[in-house]
Structure 1
Amino acid sequence: MEKTEATTIDIGESNKERKGKAPLLPNPPPPFVAKAKGAVGGYKKGVAIFDLILRLSAVATAIGAVATMANAEETLPFFTQFFQFQASYDDLPTFTFFVVAMSFVLGYLVLSIPFSIVSIARPHAKAPRMLLIVSDTVMLVLATSTASASAAMVYLAHNGNPNANWLAICNQFTDFCQQSSGAVVSAFITVVLLILMVALSAIALRNVRRI
């Protein structure tokens, strides 16, 4: 019988042969990880820029609300100079509160602009964004309360209340009612802008994991 030759298979280098060689380096991270981080930074920077635009728009609408209400007054022309009917915003405590509260909101919005610019320069910084979201929420509550109360007064001025024998005055004081109504509309626009700013701050604080 013929003997079959033994075949050997070289599996690889032995441990002795591998000694002295440099260890295998781990695989480098895939290139898309760096791109993902850069995309998150660009995303947050875009949100911060949009926040600044909304903040500047809110400053404009708050200025319009304060200036319009502060100048809301009218004197009926068909009486003598010694006996006239006059309507002014400071005759109503609600409208006086409106001017004071919206002035406070306006001052805050102006002071918050530098923090919004910091969020653009450092989109990953959380401290300025946390300060803005808390302060924006407080100003949102203040602006909403004063706008709602003034809207109720404007409604009474236009329609009155027969059950309480409160007469509508807008048939006589048309300019006063138009000015006060315009101020309330500007205040509600400011409220909407504040809501959007709070939402943007919440989005910017959220960790974006999917790109």
Structure 2
Amino acid sequence: MGSSDEILPFFMQFFQFSASYDDLPTFQYFVIAMGIVGAYIVLSRPFSIVTVIRPHAVAPKLVLLIFYTLALALNTSVAAAAAAIVYLGHNGNSDANWLAICQQFGDFCPQSSGAVVSAFVAVVIFVILILLSAYALRKV
């Protein structure tokens, strides 16, 4: 999403048509929130290693479960918000007189759609991680 940027080849003297993720606050929220989720994944590695080395330690498993749940909530909210904007980009809204912009921008919409799909794949992965963490915590 952060690299989705397109400028249409035709322009007038003082006006040029462009689309970028930072034109929409929802996409800015998407980039920032997914950055936070990605940073959490990197920073949770030491806790995961501790749970492998000490399988009977409850505290690291509980901390991972809580933070996985928070990351899932953030990931789900950002994916849903961005999905709504991508839907409007593809279909528009005739009641609000919002036109579909994806017919004009050929690269921007597939990139943003791909980012939203990857965010929903991450949601599924977080659900699996939460289930595995809860199962591991139950066995202790």
Same fold judged by TM-score > 0.5? yes
| 1:12-161 → structure 2 map (5 Å cutoff) | 69-80=1-12, 82-161=14-93
Say if 1:86 and 1:120 are closer, same or farther in 2 by CA, change over 3 A: same
Please state how far the C-alpha of 1:83 moved relative to its aligned partner.
Answer: 2.7
| 1:175-186 → structure 2 map (5 Å cutoff) | 175-186=107-118
Report the TM-score when normalising by structure 1: 0.64
Please state how far the C-alpha of 1:136 moved relative to its aligned partner.
Answer: 0.5
C-alpha RMSD of the superposition: 1.2
Q: Percent identity?
A: 63
**What amino acid does structure 2 have at the position aligned with 1:71?**
S
Report the TM-score when normalising by structure 2: 0.96
**What amino acid does structure 1 have at the position aligned with 2:136?**
A
| 1:164 alignment partner in structure 2 | 96
**What amino acid does structure 2 have at the position aligned with 1:147?**
A
Please state how far the C-alpha of 1:207 moved relative to its aligned partner.
Answer: 3.0
- SS of 1:157's equivalent in the other structure is helix
Give ranges in structure 1 of 5+ residues lacking alignment: 1-68
What stretches of structure 1 move > 4 A for 4+ residues in a row?
Answer: none
* Alignment coverage as a number of residue pairs: 140
Question: Which structure has the larger Rg?
Answer: 1
- SS of 1:133's equivalent in the other structure is helix
In proportion to residue count, which structure has more strand? 2
